[in-house]
A and B are shown apart, each in its own frame.
Chain A
C-alpha cells in the first residue's frame, strides 16, 4: 500500500476504533440516557415485580416448581422473605407513588398487599449471571413440541456427493426416522418443517417454528468440505452477542445499586434469551456427544468439531432453543456411500434421538456442573 494510502486507511481505522469504543463508553450519552430511564423506572419496580409473578403464573411455560406452594396464593407471597438484600427498594415500594398498572395486566393476579417475596424475586443477579443456574430447571419448564427441520429441499438440493447423492434427500429420510422414534415415546408432539421434497425458505422455516409453540428446534444438514478425505460432525447453536452484552450490562448496572430489577421488559427478554442460549448449548452438546461417539464406530477417522456458535439465520429467528446439526460430510466418498444405505440413516436417527433424549432427561437437573478453576490445572484431570 502506498504511503499516502496507508496513512489515510490508518486514519479511517483509528477513527473507527474510537467510534466503536464510544458506543460502549460509560460516559456516553446513550449510557446516561439509559441510567435516567432506569431511575424513572425505579418507582415502578414493585408493580413490575407483581407483573412478573403474574406472568410466571399465567403462562404455561413458567409453571411453578413442583415442590412449592402455588405462587398464586397471596398468602405465599405475603410470607416475609428471610433475606432482603435491598431494603431501600421495599421502603420505596411502601412510600413511592405507584404508577397505575395497565388494567389488563393485573386481571390474572390480584395485587398482594406487600410483595414480601421480593427479595427472592429480585435476586436475578444469581439467575442471570451464574453459570451454575439452569433457568429451565428453575422455572420447571417442560418440552412438548419438537420441530425437526430437514435442511434444503425442492429446488435446493444442498450439498451433492460425487455419486450424486443429495443432502436434501438424506436429511429428509433421517428426519422422518427421527420423528417416528421421538413419537414412539408418546411424550412429545413432533412436527416437521417439511416431510417431502418441498422447498422452504429460511423465513418460512422460522415462521413455522414460531407459530407452532415450538419448544425445541432441530435443523438437520449434511456438510461438504473441500478436503474430500475429511469427515466431520458438528453441532451449532446461536449465541447472539448483543444478548450477552445486555446481560453483562445489567450485571454491571445492578451491582451495588438499589434498582436491580427495575426494567421488567428487559428482565423478561433476558430470561428468554439466556434460557434459549443455555438450552441450545446443552442440546447441542448432548446431540454432538451422541453423534460423534457413535459415528466413530462407522468411521474411525471422523473428526469431532464439537459444538460451535454461528450466526445461522434459522437459529436466530426461532424463538425456542434451537440447534443445527451437520451430521457428517457427503464429500467423503465412503461417507456418501454409507449415507446411501437405509441402515446407516436409521442408525444416525437413533444417535440423534439418544442425544435429544439425554438432553430431555437432564432438564430437571437444577445446577449445571460448573467449571472449577482450581481443578483445571495441576490436579490430575482424569
Chain B
C-alpha cells in the first residue's frame, strides 16, 4: 500500500466517538475530541417565507429558537425525555436536534464516522432504542443506547453497590448498580420532575399574584435561579410585570412548596428500590447514592434526602460535579471503552 492510499484509508476509518444525553429541557453532547456542548431541547422552523427571511435560517435551536418563537413552528420533541412519536415533525425535530448537537462538536471539514452512545430515561429504554436508532441512523455509523442514570453511574465509576438518582425536567430516573448492566427491576422512572415543579410554581404564583403577568418560561427561569428545599436561604424575590410595570414579588413560600412537591415520590421510590435489593447490600447502596441531572442543583436537596433516607440507616448522598454533562460524559466514557467488536453498523 502506498503512503497516500494508507493515509486515505486511515482518514476513511477515522471515528468520532460521542456521548449524547437527550433531555426534555436540555440535551448535551460530549465528544472524544474534547468538545462538550449543550443546547436547550427546542427546534423551530420558520412559519413562512417572511419568517424565514426574518430569522435568516432554515431551522433554529435552543435559546435562539425560543427567542424567535413568534416566527417559528417550535417543537420540544422530547416529552418526558423520550422521543414524542405520532407526528412526523416531532421525529424530524429529534433528527435536527441530533444533527445540530453533532455539528457543535464536529467541524464541517471533519468527515469522520460517528459512533454514538445515547442516554435515554430508564423506564422507556426499549421504546427509545428503536426511535433513536431511526433518528440517529442518518448521522452515525453505529449507535448504542443506554439508560441515562446508568450512563451517569458509568461516568463516575459507581459501578457496584451504588444508586443514581437523575433528576431531569421530564423524569426522575433511578438506577441501582450492582456490577452489571442494570435490569428493568433495578430501574424506575417517576414523572414528577423539573417540569412538574414549574407547573406547581406557576399555579401557586397565579393564586397568590393574580395580577402578575408571566409565562411558564419565566417560571422556569425563577426555579433555575432560586430553587430550594428545607430552610429558605433567604427571601426569594423576583421581578414580574404587573400591568406592564416591573414589580418585585416575594415567592419564597411558593418556591419552597413547589420544589418540595417532588420529594415524596423521590424518597418513596428510593426506599422501595433499595428495599427490593439483596438485604446484605442495602446498607452499602444507601451509603453510595449519587444525585445527577439539573434537579440535583436544588439547594438543600442532598441534605434533605440524606436526612430522610438516613432514618433507615447511615446514608451518604453525593452530587455529580457537572450535572449538565453527567449523562453525556458517562455515555462518552462508555463509547471510549466499548470494544471494537461491540460496534455494529446501523
Nearest-neighbour CB distance to chain B for A159, whole angstroms, equals 13
How far does the alpha carbon of A226 sit from the alpha carbon of B307 in the complex, in Å? 11
Query: Contact between A374 and B73 (Cβ–Cβ < 8 Å)?
Result: yes
- Is B36 interfacial (CB 8 A cutoff)? no
- Is A305 interfacial (CB 8 A cutoff)? yes
Kindly count the residue-residue contacts between A and B in the assembled complex, taking CB atoms under 8 Å apart. Answer: 152
> What B residues does A10 contact at CB under 8 A?
159, 337
Interface footprint category on B: 35 or more
Nearest-neighbour CB distance to chain B for A84, whole angstroms, equals 21
> What A residues does B334 contact at CB under 8 A?
14, 17
- Is A379 interfacial (CB 8 A cutoff)? yes
- Is B242 interfacial (CB 8 A cutoff)? no
How far does the alpha carbon of A378 sit from the alpha carbon of B265 in the complex, in Å? 29
- Chain A residue at minimal CB-CB distance from B343: A18
Q: A131 and B311 in contact (CB under 8 A), knowing A17-B146, A241-B127, A309-B189?
A: no
Query: Contact between A24 and B344 (Cβ–Cβ < 8 Å)?
Result: no
Binds A, one of B5-13, B102-110, B118-126: B118-126
- Chain A residue at minimal CB-CB distance from B196: A306
Nearest-neighbour CB distance to chain A for B264, whole angstroms, equals 4
Query: Contact between B42 and A377 (Cβ–Cβ < 8 Å)?
Result: yes
Query: Contact between B344 and A27 (Cβ–Cβ < 8 Å)?
Result: yes
> What A residues does B268 contact at CB under 8 A?
225, 232, 305
Query: Contact between B181 and A13 (Cβ–Cβ < 8 Å)?
Result: yes
Bitwise, B179-213 to A at CB < 8 A (1) or not (0) is: 11100100011111000100000100010000001
- Is A376 interfacial (CB 8 A cutoff)? yes
- Is B261 interfacial (CB 8 A cutoff)? yes
- Interface centre among A15, A17, A371, A380, by most chain B C-beta atoms within 10 angstroms, is A17
Binds B, one of A193-201, A243-251, A352-360: A243-251
How far does the alpha carbon of A195 sit from the alpha carbon of B131 in the complex, in Å? 47
How far does the alpha carbon of A308 sit from the alpha carbon of B268 in the complex, in Å? 12
- Is B165 interfacial (CB 8 A cutoff)? no
Complex interface residues of chain A between 156 and 181 (CB less than 8 A to chain B): none
Query: Contact between A13 and B154 (Cβ–Cβ < 8 Å)?
Result: yes
- Is A130 interfacial (CB 8 A cutoff)? yes
- Chain B residue at minimal CB-CB distance from A129: B86
Complex interface residues of chain A between 291 and 350 (CB less than 8 A to chain B): 303-310
- Is B244 interfacial (CB 8 A cutoff)? no
- Is A99 interfacial (CB 8 A cutoff)? no
Complex interface residues of chain B between 40 and 89 (CB less than 8 A to chain A): 42, 66, 69-70, 73-77, 79, 85-86
Q: A305 and B192 in contact (CB under 8 A), knowing A17-B144, A226-B311?
A: yes
Bitwise, A218-253 to B at CB < 8 A (1) or not (0) is: 000000011100101010000001101100110110
How far does the alpha carbon of A379 sit from the alpha carbon of B216 in the complex, in Å? 8
- Chain A residue at minimal CB-CB distance from B272: A310
How far does the alpha carbon of A130 sit from the alpha carbon of B214 in the complex, in Å? 31
Query: Contact between A309 and B160 (Cβ–Cβ < 8 Å)?
Result: no
Query: Contact between A225 and B85 (Cβ–Cβ < 8 Å)?
Result: no
- Is B279 interfacial (CB 8 A cutoff)? no
Query: Contact between A381 and B342 (Cβ–Cβ < 8 Å)?
Result: no
- Is B247 interfacial (CB 8 A cutoff)? no
Query: Contact between B181 and A26 (Cβ–Cβ < 8 Å)?
Result: no
Query: Contact between A373 and B74 (Cβ–Cβ < 8 Å)?
Result: yes
- Is B129 interfacial (CB 8 A cutoff)? yes
The one of A12, A227, A234, A376 in contact with B265, judged by C-beta atoms closer than 8 angstroms, is A234
Query: Contact between B157 and A25 (Cβ–Cβ < 8 Å)?
Result: no
How far does the alpha carbon of A226 sit from the alpha carbon of B264 in the complex, in Å? 10
- Chain A residue at minimal CB-CB distance from B333: A10
- Chain A residue at minimal CB-CB distance from B181: A16
> What A residues does B180 contact at CB under 8 A?
9, 12-13, 16
Query: Contact between A308 and B86 (Cβ–Cβ < 8 Å)?
Result: no
How far does the alpha carbon of A205 sit from the alpha carbon of B202 in the complex, in Å? 41
- Interface centre among B77, B179, B263, by most chain A C-beta atoms within 10 angstroms, is B179
> What B residues does A381 contact at CB under 8 A?
202, 215-216
- Chain A residue at minimal CB-CB distance from B266: A305
- Is B248 interfacial (CB 8 A cutoff)? no
The one of B76, B217, B263 in contact with A373, judged by C-beta atoms closer than 8 angstroms, is B76
Query: Contact between A241 and B124 (Cβ–Cβ < 8 Å)?
Result: yes
> What A residues does B192 contact at CB under 8 A?
305-306, 308
Complex interface residues of chain B between 291 and 312 (CB less than 8 A to chain A): 308-309, 311-312
Q: Which 6 A-B pairs have the closest CB atoms?
A: A16-B181, A381-B216, A18-B342, A245-B126, A24-B129, A232-B264
A-binding residues in B (CB < 8 A) = 42, 66, 69-70, 73-77, 79, 85-86, 90, 123-127, 129-131, 133-134, 144-146, 154, 157, 159-160, 179-181, 184, 188-192, 196, 202, 206, 213-217, 260-261, 263-265, 267-268, 271, 308-309, 311-312, 334, 337-339, 342, 344, 346
A-B contact pairs, 21 of them (CB 8 A): A1-B160, A9-B160, A9-B179, A9-B180, A10-B159, A14-B337, A20-B146, A20-B181, A21-B145, A225-B264, A226-B267, A241-B123, A241-B125, A241-B127, A248-B131, A373-B90, A374-B73, A378-B70, A380-B215, A381-B215, A382-B202
